[in-house]
Structure formats: C-alpha cells, structure tokens
Structure 1
Amino acid sequence: MAQVIWHFKIQCNIEDNEEKLRKVYLKVLYGKKFIFLLDGVTQPIEVLKLLPPKHCLMIVVSQERISLSGFYRKSMKPLDPQSAQKLLMARAPKIKEKAKEIAELCEFIPMTLCLAGGLLATSKSFSEQSLCEKLQQWAEGNLLMELIDQSYKDLEDETAKILRKLYIFLDTFDAKAQDFICQDQYNEQLTKLVERQLVMFNEKSGCYSLHPTIQKFLRDKITEPERLDAEKRHATHFMIRLQGLQSELTEKKPSSIRSSVNAFDSGLSATKYLKDNKAELRQLINLSEATFESRNYSKAKGLHEDSLEMALEIGEDSSATMLLDKLAFFKRL
C-alpha cells in the first residue's frame, strides 16, 4: 500500500498501522482508474488488504486455487507438450533422454519448466534421472516451491547471499545498481542466478527482476543485517545517481530530462528510507523541476505545491519563498 501511496507523492509512514495506511490508500485511488496485477498470490489476505476502489480493476495470478468473493475465476491452460519440451531444452540445452518426462513432471507450467531447466543446466548435483526422481517426490506437495527451495539450497554460499540481498529490489533493476548494492563485482553472481533461472533478465530493457513468488520466498531467508546493509546501500546508490542527474538537468537535454524525471521519482523512496527531510525536500523539488522541463505542467504544479507544503512543515523558509515564486508563475501559464 505504501508503494502506491508514494507513487502519488503522498507522504506516509510505512510503520503506520495497516488500517491507517488503507484509509490513505483508498483516498489516493478515489476517482482514479488503475489496473492492479498481483502475481504469485498464495493467500486470500494478500489480495483483500490491497483491494482498490470499485472503479479499479485487479487481476490476481496464483498457482493455487484461492477463494475470493466477487472475483471472476479463469483457469489458464499449461503449455502443450511440444512447447513445454522446447522451453525446457532452451534452458537446459544439454538435456538428452528425459526432456519429455521432465516436462510432464513439471506439469507443462512455464515457471516450473524454467526452474527445472536452470537447475539441470547449472547444478553439479543433479542428473536427468535424479531430477526426475525429485520431481516425482515433490508432486505430492507444492512443486513450484519445492523447486525454488532446492534451487536455492544448491547455490554456493556467496551466490545465495547475493540472491537474498536482491529481495530489497521491489521493481526492475540494472546491473550497475546490483553491483553496488549487493557488492557483486562485475555481476558475477547475478549472471549465475540468471542461468539458474532464479532471476529474470529482459534483453530489450537491459533490466533484471525477481518473480513475485521468488521474492516472497526470499522474505524469510534474508537476515536482518543483510537487509539493513542492502537497504542502506540502495539508498546511497540512488542518492549518488540523483546528484549526478542534477547537473544533467541544467543542460535541459530531452534525454537527460526524461531520465531525471524517472530517477528523481525513484530517489524519493531512498530519501524516505534515510529519514532525511531536507534531502527528501531537495529531491521533491528536483522532481518538480524535471517534470516542469518535460512540459507536464499540471503534474509539475501539483509537485511544487507538495514541495511548498513540505518546506513550510520542516521550516525551510528559503525553499518556501522560491516555491511560492514558482507557483505564481504557474498562474500566468
């Protein structure tokens, strides 16, 4: 809920109780039309606490059959056998005799096939036969979670540590961010995780991401010291990037302006984590200016108003004066 609230540049404290957050959550969504996609859902409560107002659409994807009142249910068909084998062999090119059997044991489900292929392609512990035997054992339980757990347990200690730290990325991330935040020089461990199919890579965007099911799995694996270290480095990384983008923004190049808007937007969460009100105000003003330079004047006006409110709240009189002058300019537009 806090992520949605922050998207609208509304300040909230993630430590607030859930009831208070939900009131703000519903308020910011009131009168707006959004589509929410929740993937990897395992329990109804995960959906119920995020239910948006009725004019929004929510799509829920789950490997489990969960009961949700008021939702239309549609079962998705698995891949056909030929496509399933093709996907499996793309992930494990050296597979020889057991492709058909493994695909069947994976129930022709894409994510399960990818994980099985990644495990077979990169693990020294599994042969085609031993993987088939394991898949048969896991068939009685949650096959997907068993595969994720086994794939994680089979990692080298350093690779597993890097995977746990990736938990702090709530969205896509690039190689530079991962290198700095996870202290993974040259993305060596990240490359192994992609080959293991525990991390997804989008060649078109050049960004990485975690499947929601894997992210939930890591929630119980990451240690408190690892989480705190990764979060601090995450905040520091974006602060450094933001400082560099401030100088680019003054050049008013279209590409710089677009990248600045995106980065300043992301950077707000970093300053919120650091609990540095002055730094947060600076980034909010930067975002306001970048949005203005992108000629999205209505949004820029709202951001300037938010900046003014915050400046007055924390006693930044000089910033407040500057923002008042800027808002006066908006009236002349």
Structure 2
Amino acid sequence: MKISKHSPLLWYLCIVAVVVLALILTGIAFTIPFSVPAVIGIAGAILGYYLYTKKPKEKEEKKEEKEIAVPKPPTPYFAHPYPMQKNFTGREKERAELTEWLENDSNSMFVHVAIGGMGKSALAWYWLTEDVIKLKRENPLKGIIWWSFYDKEASFESFLNHSIEYASEGKVDAEKIESRRDKMDELYSLLSGNQFILVLDGVERLLRAYAGMGSPYQGDEVKEDEKKDYNACVEPNCGTFLQMLANVPKTKTLITTRISPKELDDLDGVVRRELKEMDKEDAVEFFERQGVKGTRAEIEEVCRVYGFHPLSLRLLSGMIVHSMKFGGDIKAWTKYNPLPKLVPKEHHILELAYNSLDKKKQNFISRLSAFRNPMDYDAISIFNDFGSEEELNGVLLELVERGMLFRDEKSNKFDLHPIVRKYCYDRLRDKEGVHSKLSGYFAEFHVPKKIESVDDLAPVIELYHHTVRAGRYDEARRLYYNRLATPLFYKFGAYQTTIELLRALFPDGEDKLPRLKNESDQAWTLGALANSYSLSGWSRGAFSLFEMDIEVSKKQDDKTNLAIGLGNLADGQMKIGELNAAEANLRRRIEICREIKDEFNESIGHQELGRLHTYFGEFEEAEKELSKALTLFTKSNAAQSQGIGFAYRSLRSFIMSNAEDTLKYAEESRELADVEKVERDIIRAEWLLGAAYILKGNLVEAEKHLTEALTRDRKINLVELEPDILLEFAKLMFKRNHKEEALKFADEALQIADRCEYRLKQADIHNFLAEFYMGAGDLEKVREHGEIAKERAECGYKPALEKAKKILNEIEQM
C-alpha cells in the first residue's frame, strides 16, 4: 500500500479527533468543560509549529537539491539531458568531423544548422556521450557542459549562473555578481583558462524568430514582418557572448540551431555546417534495428521518398512496426499506404503517424502538445481519459515506441519533438478549454514570498501563458499587472521577458490593438510594451505602439495621456535621429497642455524641447526652455523632474565643452536623484559626472563615476545609456594612453549603437574613432570614420556635424 506524503498530517488529525471523541463518550468533557477546548488548542499549537517548521525544511531541501544539481568538473554537467530515443544509427561522417574539429581545428565554435527533425540534438548528444567521453586524450578535458535552450528555465541569465558555478568548481557565486556583463566576463575567463566542451542546444530559441511565448508551437517558417532581423539575438548581451565564445582560447563550443545567429555571420573562429539527410545505408540499418521487415531496396525506396529525413523515418518505422495488420512488413504496408508525390513529405508522414492513432490517443497527444515544456507523470495524468494508470502507462509506452513522444528515463519526464508538437497542437480541439485546465493546474504551484530572481516567477509566468492561450486576455493582463510588472520591469530590468509576455496580448499582431475590453487597459499595455522596447534598444519597435497609444487617447478624448504619448514618441524619435519629427511632437504636447491647463506636463515638454535644442546646437534656446521647466518644478517641489532638468543642463554644457558647468549641474542632478532613487536618473547623473571629470582632467574621479554608472546600468540592462558610458570609458583610456582598451570600449559602444539605430550616438562614436586614428596616423581610417560621423550627424545634430567637418578638413590640408 502506498502512503501519501500527506499521511502524517492525516494521522495526526485522526488521533486528535479520537481523543476528543473519547472525552465526550467518557463524560470527562462534561465534568471538565474546558478539557475539549484545551485539547483542540494544544493540538492547534502543535500543528501550527509543525507547519511553520516544515516550510524552512522544504526550502532547505530545495536548496540542497539545487546544490546537488550542478556537479564539479570533470564530471559532465548535463543541465537538461536529451531524451535520446533508441536505435540511433550512423552519422559517422558528421561525428568524425566533429571529433576532428575538437582535436585539431583552431576554430573555437562549430555551428550545426538544419530544419526541424533533422537530428541536430540527437547527433550532438550521441557524439558527446558516446564519442567524446570515451575519447582518450593526451590532455584531459577540464569539463563538459550541455545546455538546452528548449527548457523553460534555460534562460541566458540562468545559463551564465549555472555555468559559472560549474566551471569555477563552486568557488564563484554568480548570484552575487550584479552585472550580467560581469558574469559574461567571469565565465569567459573561466572557459579561457581551461579546456571545456560547451554544447548549446536549440540556440534558435534565443533569436527573434523563435523568442515568443508561442515558440514551442512554431515550425520552421519565419513570419514576414520579422525577416529583417529574424536571426538576431533578442538580447544584445547574448549576441555579444556568442561572439566572445567564437574567440575563446581553449574551450570549444558546439551550437545546434534551426537558424544561424546573425551575430556569428562572417566571424572568424566559427565553422558552420548545414546538417543534411541521413546516409541511405544508415537509413536501411535504422529500419532494420527498429524491426521493419523488407529488402534493402524496398526500405531504401521508401526512405528516399521521405528525403532520408530522420524524424520522418522514425515516425514511419514506428507506424509500420505497430501495424497489427501488416506485421512490420514494409512492402505490405506501402501497398495500402501509397507513397506521397505532391504533398510536403514531412507533413505527409506526420499526418500518417497521427491518423494511425485512434481518436482517443489523437486527442491525448494533442492535449499534451499544449504543454510548452517537458512534463512529469503527474502533469500528464490530468489528461488521463483511459481509466486506470496501467492503461495510461501502456499508451505512453506506445507513443514513445512510435517516436511521437520522448521519455527521459532518469527524470521520468516526457516531451514532444518541436515539429511533432506543432502538428499535434494545430489539430487540438478546444484549445481554450485545454489551456484553461492547464492554467488551473499551474495556479496550484507554490511561489516564494520573497522573489529573488526571475526563475522564482516561473510558475506565475506559466500560469500567465496558459491564461492567454485560454483566450482570457483581460484576466492575463490583470495577472501581469498585479504579480509580474513590478518585479520584472523595475526590480530585475527583465525587459526581454516583459516584451515576450506583453506581446502575447496582441494575438492579431502588434499593428493591431491588444485584445482587451477596456480602452484604458489597452493604452496601459501599449505604453508598457513600448517602454520595454525603447529601454532595451528597440526604438523602432516602440514607435508604432506609441502611435497606437496616441490614437487610443484621442479616441477617449484623454488629452493628458495624449500629451504624454506624444512626449514618449518624441523621445524615441530623438534616439534614432528623427529630430524634426520629435520637435513637432513636443510642440504639439506643449500646445495641448496649455489648452487643458496642465502646467506640470507642459513643463516636461519644455524640458525635453530644451534637450532637443541642445542637439540642434541652439544652446541659448535650450537654456530658455530648461529654465522655464525648472521654475515650475522648483515651485512644485518636484525633485525627480528637477534632477532630470539639471542633467539636461549638464548635457548642454558637456556638448559645449564647458567642464565647470557640466560638473556643477551633474552634481545637482546626482543629489536630487537620491531623493526618489530612480535608478535610471542615478545612472544618467553618474555618467555625466564621469564625463565632466574627463573634461577637467581628473581621471581618477572620472573612472570612479563611470564604473558606478556602468555597474548600475548593466544590473538593470538599461541599453539606452550604455553606449554613452562606454564611449566615456574609451576617452578615459585614450587619455591614459591605453590605446587597445580605448578601442575596445569604443567598438563595444558602436556595436550597441548600430544594433539599436542610435543615430546621435553613432555620430559621437565615429567622431571619437576618427580622432583616435588621427593620433595613430592612419588617415584612411580617419576619413572613413569622419565621413560616417558626418552622414550620421546630418539629421540635425549640429555639434557632431561641425566636429566631423573639422576633422575631414584637417586631413584634406595634410
């Protein structure tokens, strides 16, 4: 007999009930009236103590499990073991090439690219566990890391944390490293000093084409509106780290992906191969191992029709072997199942495999496809319509044998191949009902009271996903607003996660309104998503959302929010150099605020217009606008707005090369930033303080403030200010005559500015690079960067334009 984990508590309550009943039956309860309440009170106290002490114990057990999860080298760290199906066959040529790359090739990275179902993950896993581990090396490997981005908790941040723990043998606590970039540098250092093999499986999940919450249900197709940057990493830091891995000295990195990351295009240190179909001899051997009966020619003919596509062949062999009518005979089976001629081969075999199941099993596997991630037995059991556990077990084993379901025997978790999941999910009836059931299932999961990382929010995120998929969009938005918005946006700066979650509220596309009933909720969602795009460097992605936000405000005749929306749009336009459009929107904002007598928001408009005049090089006009705003903010004691105003005055002085005023206003801005402790304001002030001290020649103080700015910036992933801080670091290193480091900082700043289309920052960085190469005497490079700076500044950024022209004139006179 099985004893439930709840049995001790049930036995305890039963004993208390028996004692109370005995007191009543013996008459003691009537003789001593307080006896029953006393027994119940004592029992309650004991129960309360039990429950109180049980929670820390559970936490301690979870902590212990976490500690055990990451082994120490040289024991391989298989973070998400691949559920290898039986009878893996062949791929000897590909395995030999991988081994040759590992042993003798100087290139640090190998990228296997292929469509879904071609066997990328299976090949990598088999090579790693059968070939590499058994390989007798002259210099033994320090360790092996297998990380699959198909797993729901396998985020880039989680990868960094766990890999640092493993590679450092537990000596470095990654959780205490605040900056993600510092974590990247720490892991790079660990991997550079020792020989590791790093396998990153399913890297397409890091790319824009596959980054949404619906990626588990997605096939190989790429949406038309995503084709421009479909293969770019969603998170800039992730793309940077892939580039770092391509140049790591000792460690080798194998990547499997449906799409090669854009960041690796034309990069030295990278070997790229497209994984093709199975060898025909291997295909025949595989069918024979599977138990298919037939001649070599008969098997080869069928396999050729299906393009020797590994997943198709596994599903096909599974059908033939499980066909009671034909007894595994391929000739008899094909006689009654004509081979396809005009339909896509993979689609045809999936259709055959799905239709070979009875209706009950079809419904069952379609319901399982609604899970985004591997399922344990308890999760699967909520869809058990087969009666007993024995019958369910039989169905699961059959689906595994047919190749339609994976099973990891060690963890006893089940999963579907992405291609199979998509096909089955497309045929799921009552999607909303199934996701409603799953949202109820995940609603029961425990969430820690103290949220210490994004991983702690995983149950809430999963609940949110199924609530959205159930079509309950308004409920999902409330869930996001109440439980996810603050920790994700403000505490962790998890802008990519907020984008992924909020995009799910736009099932009709982001060119349409979110599917919410209340217009105020629509406006809030548009603004929240747009701000996340803007802060993470996707300025253009934010534009259409800000514009829709403006239209909703117009429809509601909400002039206050209309003015705010125009200001937000203008801010984004300034970032990408659309300065004239930004000016028009700011003047319209001021006009609306005057009309409704909203002095505060009018003053914000004047303040932003002052910043814009600074970019135009109209410094007197800038001072007038900033003074107008500061007068009201001082009168209304709006400390944060005053601080931003002083920051803009500092920026004006900085662009004018006025060191004293740059420092004076930056100090006032920093002091006011501490009143409300808005992190973005603190970072801006620290950057300006660093810039001021460089102008004054105090490099020690400059480094102190720039380090503070960069550390804080990267802690919350604030992309918009990172290039500015890095550029000042480049100037600092240049003044110290550390030329190589200066160039490194400038290149890093330019990478971000280029990726995010920050036109004004591009002009500033290219001007610096032109001056850098002027000092090195490389006139060709001076001209190259000077011309780019000039072109970038021709959007109206007059100070940068004048500097670029001056540099170009200087080299013409040489």
Question: TM-score normalised to the size of structure 1?
Answer: 0.57
Match of 1:299 among 478, 483, 494: 494
Cα distance in structure 2, aligned partners of 1:232 and 1:35: 28
Give the whole-Å Cα distance in 1 for the aligned partners of 2:223 and 2:401: 32
Distance 1:271 1:265 in 2: 10
2:324 alignment partner, one of 124, 128, 131: 124
Unaligned runs of 5+ in 2: 1-205, 235-256, 260-272, 503-519, 526-674, 683-711, 713-814
- Distance, in Å, in 2 between the alignment partners of 1:152 and 1:82 is 27
Go from structure 1 to structure 2 and tell me whether the alpha carbon gap of 1:158 and 1:271 turns closer, same or farther (over 3 Å shift).
closer
User: Per-residue deviation at 1:139?
Assistant: 4.0
**Percent identity between the aligned chains?**
13
CA contact (8 A) 1:138 1:146 kept: no
Q: Is the aligned partner of 1:172 residue 2:379?
A: no
* Selected match of 1:156 from 321, 342, 358: 358
> Conserved in 2, the CA contact under 8 Å of 1:181 and 1:237?
no
DSSP 3-state at the match of 2:209: strand
1:271 Cα deviation (Å)? 3.9
Q: Given that residues 85 and 99 in structure 1 are in contact (C-alpha distance below 8 angstroms), is that contact kept between their aligned partners in structure 2?
A: yes
Aligned pairs for 1:1-333 (under 5 A) are 34=207, 36=209, 40-41=219-220, 47-53=223-229, 56=232, 77-90=276-289, 92=290, 94-98=291-295, 101-107=298-304, 108-127=308-327, 128=329, 129-134=331-336, 137-142=338-343, 143-169=345-371, 171-175=372-376, 176-181=378-383, 186=389, 187-188=392-393, 189-201=395-407, 206-212=413-419, 215-216=422-423, 218-219=425-426, 221-223=427-429, 226-241=430-445, 244=446, 246=447, 249-250=448-449, 259-272=455-468, 273-274=471-472, 275-276=474-475, 277-284=477-484, 288=488, 297-299=492-494, 331=679
Count residues with an aligned counterpart.
249
For each residue in 1:110-168, what CA deviation from the matched residue of structure 2 results, as whole angstroms up to 9, or x when unmatched?
01210112112323233313224356x21423343332222222212211111232343
- Whole-angstrom CA distance in 2 between matches of 1:110 and 1:182: 30
Question: Helix, strand or coil: the match of 2:404?
Answer: coil
Partners of 2:321 and 2:407 in 1: how far apart?
17
CA separation of 1:217/1:231 partners in 2, compared to 1, >3 Å: closer, same or farther?
closer
Cα 1:81–1:240 change in 2 (3 A) is same
Give how far 1:52 is off: 4.6
Aligned-pair CA distance for 1:95:
3.1
CA contact (8 A) 2:375 2:414 kept: yes
Q: Tell me by how many angstroms 1:282 deviates.
A: 3.5
Distance change >3 Å, CA 114–CA 54, structure 1 → 2: closer
Q: How many Å separate the matches in 2 of 1:330 and 1:181?
A: 48
Contact 1:119/1:151 (CA < 8 Å) preserved in 2? yes
Larger radius of gyration: 2
The answer to whether the 8 Å contact 1:181/1:233 transfers is no
Q: 2-side partners of 1:118 and 1:125: how far apart?
A: 14
RMSD between superposed Cα atoms in Å: 4.4
CA contact (8 A) 2:318 2:403 kept: yes
Deviation at 1:102, TM superposition (A): 2.2
Check whether the contact 1:199–1:211 (CA below 8 A) recurs between aligned residues. Answer: no
- Cα deviation code 1:31-71 (max 9, x no counterpart): xx9353697447xxx5424425377279868xxxxxxxxxx
In 2 relative to 1, CA 267–102 (structure 1 residues): closer, same or farther, beyond 3 Å?
A: same
* Worse overlay, 123-132 or 153-162: 123-132
1:233 to 1:287, Cα distance in 2 relative to 1, 3 A: farther
Partner amino acid, structure 1, of 2:461: D
Greater Cα offset, 182-191 or 106-115: 182-191
Structure 1 unaligned regions, length at least 5: 1-32, 62-73, 315-326
Give the CA deviation at 1:218.
4.8
Calculate the TM-score normalised by the size of structure 2.
Answer: 0.26
SS of the residue aligned with 1:95? coil
Letter in 2 for 1:230: V
Contact 1:200 1:208 in 2 (8 A): yes
Aligned equivalents of 1:258 and 1:116: distance in 2? 41
Question: Which segment drifts farther, 33-42 or 268-277?
Answer: 33-42
**Higher relative contact order, chain-length normalized (CA < 8 Å, sep 6+):** 1
